[in-house]
Structure 1
Amino acid sequence: MKETILNTLKKIEEDFNVKILYACESGSRAWGFPSKDSDYDVRFIYVHQQEDYLTIDPIGIGKKRDVIELPINDLLDVTGWELTKALRLFRKSNPPLMEWICSGIVYYQAFSTIEKMRELSSSIFAPHSCLYHYLNMAANNFREYLQGDQVKIKKYFYVLRPVLAAQWIERFNEFPPLEFPSLVEEMVPEGELKEEIETLLKRKMAGDELELEPRIDVLNNFLNKEIIRLQEFTKTLKISNPNFTPRLDELFRETLEEVWSL
């Protein structure tokens, strides 16, 4: 499968006349709970040629898109962000982007840009931004999928993971690991709750469909309580906005020099 992904990335470079800096897995495979029929959520960061940036209309304006998206099929979901877009989001500690650069499944990495971003990530990390993201995700999924006597049981993972990620940020003041089993091991104490989570995880990994089943009250009660508690916690956070723009401007220029001077 990796060869297919690498061939797809190579064709993107040729078709769009760009250089790909980094490509990784994002989604259930990176999170540690893929289903037997899970597709591959490939995410990448790319850079245009230097002259494409030296225009009066910057990348992202009008027809000069800052995203490359391939048609989704049963096997691959491939999306990339242009570097200046990625760096603007990085400046805001954008959680999806932070997850990309922290992914444990890397398909491709070239040049030094991503390593430099990783070195900056602990300084740029903004707890409030990431907490809001994970809590909004958890609250929306909880409200949409886990109400009523019969629920889509697999959706528990899409509420549990952001809740545990938010708990991690609260406890350690750092960006959480992507892998769901790591979050469970660290954040959930031994007992009935952990047993229910681990049972669901084993079923999902074994290929159980996990469609409509009776609601699991121990999970619903935990999630409802924690979402409310963490929402209150976010109100106590002091928001700090250091100016990382000069360093990220420098990183962008360094990337152009490194990529296109070869």
Structure 2
Amino acid sequence: MNEIIQQKLMEIEKKHEVKILYAVESGSRAWGFPSKDSDWDVRFIYIHPPEWYLSIDPQGIGAKRDVIEEPINDLLDISGWEITKALRLFRKNNPPLLEWLRSEIVYYQKYAFVENMRSLESEVFYPNSMLYHYLNMAKNNYREYLRGSEVKIKKYFYVLRPILACKWIEKYNETPPIGFHELLEDIVTESELKNEVNQLLRRKLAGDEFDMEPRIDVINNFVEHEMDRLEEYAKSLNVTVKDPTDSLDGLFRDTLQEVY
């Protein structure tokens, strides 16, 4: 699959006349709990030639789209963000983008862009928005999958991961790691809960797809308690950050000059 992805990235560069700066795996494979039928979720950041930016029509309007989305098939979901779109989202402390920067499955990286972007992360870190992103993800997935007496057990991971990410932010005041195992080992100290989660993780990685099964009370109790507690914690935060736009403008211009 890696060769297919590399070939696809080359085709995208040629077809759209862009340069890809960074391409990684996202989703369950990057999080560390893929299913046997998980597809590959490839995400990338790209840049156009200078003349594309030097025009009267702004990017993101009309024909000047700021995303590239390839048709999704059963194996591969691949899409990318134009660099200025990515940097605007970075300015907002966008959690999915920050997860891309932490993915351990890197398909392509060229130029100094990503390392320079990472060096500016402290200027954009804003725990309020990140906490609400992960907390809302947990709450929505909980309502959809885990409220009955019988649940699809593998869906616990889509509630546990954002809960643990919130607790990491609370504990360290920094962007959480992308890997579920690292979050679990650091954040969960209660042995019964950790054992139940590790047992589910082993089953999932072994290809056990989990039909509907009785809910696991120790996990449900933890999730419900933490969602309520983290909601109150998020409300208590009062953090402000300086506007990083000048630094991000400089990064964009430097990258454009380096690439072209």
Q: TM-score range by the shorter chain?
A: over 0.9
The residue that corresponds to 1:3 in the other structure is: 3
Q: 1:120 aligns to what?
A: 120
Distance in 2, matches of 1:229 and 1:210, equals 29
Tell me the SS of whatever aligns to 1:86.
Answer: helix
Residue number in structure 2 paired with 1:207: 207
Unaligned runs of 5+ in 2: none
Moved over 2 A (4+): none
Aligned to 2:19: 19
| Structure 2 residue matching 1:235: 3-state secondary structure | helix
Structure 1 unpaired stretches of 5+: none
Distance 1:228 1:20 in 2: 42
Deviation string, structure 1 residues 35-86 (Cα, Å, up to 9, x no partner) = 1111111000001111011111111011211111111111111010000000
Are 2:31 and 1:31 aligned?
yes
Per-residue deviation, 1:180: 0.3
CA distance, structure 2, for counterparts of residue 29 and residue 122 of structure 1:
27
Matches within 5 A, 1:171-182: 171-182=171-182
Same amino acid, percent of matched pairs:
64
Residue aligning to 2:46: 46
Q: CA deviation at 1:123?
A: 2.9
Q: For 1:72-91, what aligned pairs fall within 5 Å after superposition?
A: 72-91=72-91
- The equivalent of 2:61 in structure 1 is 61
The alignment covers a number of residue pairs equal to 260
Instruction: Indicate yes or no: 2:140 matched with 1:140.
Output: yes
User: For 2:42, what is the secondary structure of its paired residue?
Assistant: strand
TM-score normalized with structure 2 length = 0.98
The farther-off stretch of 169-178 and 208-217 is 208-217
Is the Cα contact below 8 Å between 2:94 and 2:130 reproduced in 1?
Answer: yes
Query: 2-side partners of 1:193 and 1:90: how far apart?
Result: 34
- Structure 1 vs Structure 2 CA RMSD: 0.8
Q: One-letter code of the match for 2:112?
A: S
Q: Deviations over 1:182-236 (max 9, x none)?
A: 1110000142111110000000000001121111111111101100100100111
Give 1:121 shift: 1.2
> Superposition pairs for residues 211-250 of structure 1, below 5 Å?
211-250=211-250
Aligned to 1:109: 109
What does the per-residue CA deviation read over 1:116-172, in whole Å, with 9 as the maximum and x for residues that have no partner?
011111332111111010000000000111011111111100000000000000000
Q: How far 1:241 moved relative to its partner?
A: 2.8
The residue type paired with residue 15 of structure 1 is K
Counterpart AA for 2:168: W
Contact 2:124 2:241 (8 Å CA) reproduced: no
**Which has the higher mean CA deviation after the structures are superposed, 32-41 or 154-163?**
32-41
Structure 1 CA distance for aligned equivalents of residues 211 and 17 of structure 2? 43
Q: Structure 2: which amino acid aligns with 1:36?
A: K
Cα distance in structure 2, aligned partners of 1:63 and 1:74: 28
Give the equivalent residue in structure 2 for 1:198.
198
Which amino acid letter does the alignment assign opposite residue 99 of structure 1?
E
Tell me, in whole angstroms, the C-alpha distance in 2 between the residues paired with 1:62 and 1:239. 36
